[in-house]
Homo-oligomer: A and B are copies of this chain.
Amino acid sequence: MRFSLGCEIGYDIAEQSTLIFNIEAMNGGRQDVISENLQITPFIQADYNIAEDTGNRYRRLIVNPCQLTLRYDAEVELRPLHAMPDVIDEVPVSQLPLDILPYLNPSRYCPSDQLARFAARQFGHMEPGHNRVTTICNWIHEEVDYISGASDTSTTAADTFSMRAGVCRDFAHLGITFCRALGIPARFASCYAWQLEPQDFHAVFEAYLGDRWYLFDATRMAALDGLVRIGCGRDAADTAFSTIYGNVNPLAMRVWIKALNADPTQEWTTEAVSLAKD
């Protein structure tokens, strides 16, 4: 399916500052950027880099005092892999690829060590596999309230577990935390999310199952095969859409995504979905 998407972000730059952006759609695997345009106003030459391990795309700008606007427009084609959840297994730690192992470690917002006992009690005796991670998502969806403003940038999955409220980022952190506690590698993914209401950047997570990363969204706010991934990493600390060094004031932000060839009668898939590299 093909999507037209983008965002526009403004900043008030009060002193010379460095800004790093990760807002461009990943390109590769099952997600092809057909066309795109990044407009920086006023025009500033930006460093461009693609992280080797994740494919995250970074623009780094050194900006003098001004009103800065970034506008990104892209057309992206998703060719999701769909699979039957029943046949997707977990991978024993003994067989995980080495570069996947760090996604088992606790991270800033995903202290999997702290929730290990609960995860084992609640999900430990279930059949391993894709369905177990879906059960985790169902549990989060049932037991945690989606409430804007319930969390802040210091909220960990352990806080969310106690408070029982959060936003998409917190739902993803909690899912990742339970997975890691069970020995399932998991990572955070930021994305443009088709049909998300209201439109904004979205956060979901990926679990490594079988031979690839599968998508999960405990919020159930968007279709899995309508997620255009931007960045992935250990948790939100690795995948900020902007990182700012300097005296900078964020102004308005707008995010959008539209399907160019959607069948409006289509139901959201109940199959497993992967958009990562094979």
Of listed A60, A105, A114, A158, residue having the most chain B CB within 10 A: A105
Residue pair B62, A94 in contact (C-beta under 8 Å)? yes
| Assembly CA distance A165 to B118 (angstroms) | 9
Q: Is the CB of A238 within 8 A of B92?
A: no
CB-CB contacts of A217-252 with B at 8 A, as 1s and 0s?
A: 000000000000000011001100000010000000
How far is it, in angstroms, between the C-alpha of A162 and the C-alpha of B160 when the chains are bound? 10
Q: Which residues of B contact A101 (CB under 8 A)?
A: 20, 58
Shortest CB–CB separation between residue A108 and chain B, in angstroms?
4
- CB-defined interface of A133-164 with B at 8 Å, one 1/0 digit per residue? 00000000001010000000110001001111
Map CB proximity to B onto A33-55 as digits: 1 under 8 Å, 0 otherwise: 00000000000000101011100
Task: Say whether B107 contacts A164, CB under 8 Å.
Answer: no
**B-chain residues with CB within 8 Å of residue A233 when the two chains form the complex:** 102
A98 at the B interface (CB under 8 A): yes
Q: Could you tell me if A143 and B121 are in contact, using CB atoms closer than 8 angstroms?
A: yes
In the complex, are the beta carbons of A162 and B62 less than 8 A apart? no
Chain B nearest Cβ from A265, distance in angstroms: 35
A38 to chain B, nearest CB (A): 17
> Number of contacting residues on A, CB 8 A?
45
| Interface flag for A277 (CB, 8 Å) | no
- Taking the closest CB of chain B, its distance from the CB of A220, in whole angstroms, is 18
- This chain: copies in complex: 4
Given the complex of chains A and B, what is the CA–CA distance between A153 and B113 in angstroms?
A: 9
Contacts of A92 in B (CB 8 A): 18
Q: Does A117 contact B (CB under 8 A)?
A: yes
Does A93 have its Cβ within 8 Å of any Cβ on chain B? yes
Is the C-beta of A183 less than 8 angstroms from some C-beta in chain B? Answer: yes
Does A175 count as interface, using CB distance less than 8 angstroms? no
CB distance B98 to A238 under 8 Å? no
Query: When chains A and B are docked, how far (Å) is the Cα of A53 from the Cα of B99?
Result: 10
The contact of A163 among B94, B117, B143, B145, by CB within 8 Å, is: B117
What residues of B have a CB within 8 angstroms of the CB of A165 in the complex?
117
A: which residues have CB within 8 A of B?
Answer: 18, 20, 47, 49, 51-53, 58, 60, 62, 92-94, 98-99, 101-102, 105-108, 110-111, 113-115, 117-118, 121, 143, 145, 153-154, 158, 161-165, 183, 233-234, 237-238, 245
Given contacts A117-B163, A118-B162, 14 further A-B contacts (CB under 8 A): A18-B93, A58-B101, A94-B245, A105-B237, A106-B108, A107-B237, A111-B154, A114-B154, A117-B145, A117-B164, A117-B165, A121-B164, A161-B162, A183-B245
Cross-chain pairs A/B with CB under 8 angstroms, 17 sampled? A47-B94, A49-B98, A93-B245, A94-B245, A102-B233, A105-B237, A106-B237, A107-B107, A107-B108, A107-B234, A114-B162, A115-B162, A117-B145, A117-B164, A161-B161, A161-B162, A183-B245
